[in-house]
């Protein structure tokens, strides 16, 4: 057991899975040297046939892993930024996501699409988008969003062993800043099981990825005012652990959802719809969302910070519900 950052935990998961199963390989841009450290050292250990650097062509990466998976390999594709996945949407959405259904369940496509999202590093509008709602809309894809180093390792190992395409979303700020104890043993974290990061009786706060940390910070401030918030981390949004969410809302009667994606048609809207459908009679106030205010992420640091949900905004949303 050691205290690791998210990038170190992901690196450990990849090393363990590549050592465990020689069908697992990695492919993507800049994975030999690894700007964020996730794949650092793996090229030296496993060689260029299993850690494959590519030209800047996301559609080529997506096509290569689709073919490799269809003949029995277990590829892990890296797209440096989630925005770049737009270039590969046909291969991911029209081919990988639909092939199992179109071939009557016979197609086995164990593909992991690793990518990063979120703002906070002055990467401007084309390198910060959180597009999880796009992919959650598509049947046939599983969507994973870890918020801790422990979960990052366990969920990545689960993703690699799954026989279906998985969109594995990492938060670029959390690579270095989020640290916790991670076992150096083999373990997995199951899909579709949310984590209650803090228990409370007055309001439920649902956070996606880095926003779990923001929700916990807001909960600390609210506790000083006598408001006890329950914080839920879905961990995966497809499949979604709706039971844990509904159970919490039925207890607290209020809910705030926070994510970095734009508010308009973000995944928070789907969560609100599900909560209203399954727990409407338990709500004492309309569900609230705290999200990006429907603007491209600014390059300017001050403006960028204003576009990212804050603990103060979450706490204010909770106070509004309590009134």
CATH of residue 236's domain is 3.40.50.920
**Residues 237/208, Cβ–Cβ less than 8 Å:** yes
61 lies in the same domain as 203: no
Check residue 40 and give its pLDDT: 93
How large is the average pLDDT for residues 295-314? 93
pLDDT of 131 above 90: yes
**Residues 67/60, Cβ–Cβ less than 8 Å:** no
Residue 62 lies in a domain: yes
From residue 156, how far is each of 107, 223, 287 by CA, in Å? 22, 34, 31
DSSP tag of 183: -
Weakest-pLDDT range from 117-126, 162-171, 251-260, 312-321: 117-126
| Three-state secondary-structure class, residue 186 | coil
pLDDT of 130 above 90: yes
Weakest-pLDDT range from 104-108, 151-155, 254-258: 104-108
How large is the average pLDDT for residues 238-262? 98
Q: Which of 182, 209, 228 is the last residue of a domain?
A: 182
Spatial separation of the C-alpha atoms in residues 79 and 114, rounded to whole Å: 6
Q: Out of 16, 17, 78, 127, which one is annotated catalytic?
A: 127
Weakest-pLDDT range from 24-38, 159-173, 232-246: 24-38
For 222, the domain range is 195-322
Q: How confident is the model at residue 120 (pLDDT cuts 50, 70, 90)?
A: confident
Residue 189 lies in a domain: no
Spatial separation of the C-alpha atoms in residues 218 and 113, rounded to whole Å: 32
Q: Which of 174, 233, 171 lies closest to 205 in space, CA to CA?
A: 233
Check residue 122 and give its pLDDT: 80
149 lies in the same domain as 30: yes
Residue 188 lies in a domain: no
Q: What is the DSSP string of 90-143?
A: IIIIIIIHHHHHHTTT------EEEEEE--SSS--TTS----HHHHHTSTT-EE
pLDDT of 223 above 90: yes
Spatial separation of the C-alpha atoms in residues 317 and 309, rounded to whole Å: 11
Check residue 32 and give its pLDDT: 86
26 lies in the same domain as 118: yes
Check residue 155 and give its pLDDT: 98
For residue range 31-81, list pLDDT tens digits in order.
988 888 899 999 999 999 999 999 999 999 999 999 999 999 999 999 999
With a pLDDT cut of 90, the percent of the chain lying above it is 92
Domain count, the chain: 2
For residue range 139-164, list pLDDT tens digits in order.
999 999 999 999 999 999 999 999 99
174 lies in the same domain as 244: no
204 lies in the same domain as 91: no
- Can you tell me which residue has the tokens 């399954």? 278
Q: Out of 58, 170, 213, 230, which one is annotated catalytic?
A: 58
Residue 190 lies in a domain: no
Indicate the average pLDDT of the chain: 96
Q: What is the pTM of this model?
A: 0.96
**Which CATH number is 42's domain given?**
3.40.50.970
Residue 162 lies in a domain: yes
127 assigned to active site: yes
């Amino acid at each position: 057991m050691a205290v690791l950052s998210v990038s170190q935990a992901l690196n450990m998961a990849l090393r363990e899975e590549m050592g465990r199963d020689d069908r697992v390989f990695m492919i993507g841009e800049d994975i030999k040297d690894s700007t964020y450290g996730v794949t650092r050292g793996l090229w030296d250990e496993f060689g260029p046939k299993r850690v494959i650097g590519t030209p800047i062509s996301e559609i080529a990466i997506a096509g290569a892993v689709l073919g490799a998976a269809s003949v029995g390999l277990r590829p892990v594709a890296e797209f440096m930024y989630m925005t770049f996945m737009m270039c590969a949407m046909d291969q991911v959405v029209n081919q990988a996501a639909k092939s199992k259904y179109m071939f009557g369940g016979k197609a086995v496509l164990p593909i992991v699409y690793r990518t990063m999202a979120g703002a906070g590093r002055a990467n401007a509008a084309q390198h910060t988008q959180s597009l999880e709602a796009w992919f959650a809309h598509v049947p046939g894809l599983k969507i994973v969003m870890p918020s801790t180093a422990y979960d990052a390792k366990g969920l990545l190992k689960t993703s690699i062993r799954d026989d279906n395409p998985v969109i594995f979303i990492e938060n670029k700020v959390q690579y270095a800043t989020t640290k916790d104890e991670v076992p150096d043993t083999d373990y997995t974290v199951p899909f579709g099981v949310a984590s209650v990061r803090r228990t409370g009786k007055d309001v439920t706060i649902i956070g996606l990825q880095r926003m779990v940390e923001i929700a916990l910070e807001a909960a600390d401030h609210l506790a000083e005012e006598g408001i006890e918030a329950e914080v839920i981390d879905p961990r995966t949004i497809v499949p979604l652990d709706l039971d844990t969410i509904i159970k919490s809302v039925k207890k607290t009667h209020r809910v705030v959802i926070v994510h970095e994606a734009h508010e308009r048609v973000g995944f928070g809207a789907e969560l609100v719809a599900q909560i209203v459908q399954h727990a409407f009679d338990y709500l004492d106030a309309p569900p609230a969302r705290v999200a990006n205010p429907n603007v491209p992420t600014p390059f300017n640091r001050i403006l960028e910070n204003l576009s990212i949900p804050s603990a103060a905004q979450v706490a204010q949303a909770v106070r509004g519900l309590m009134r």
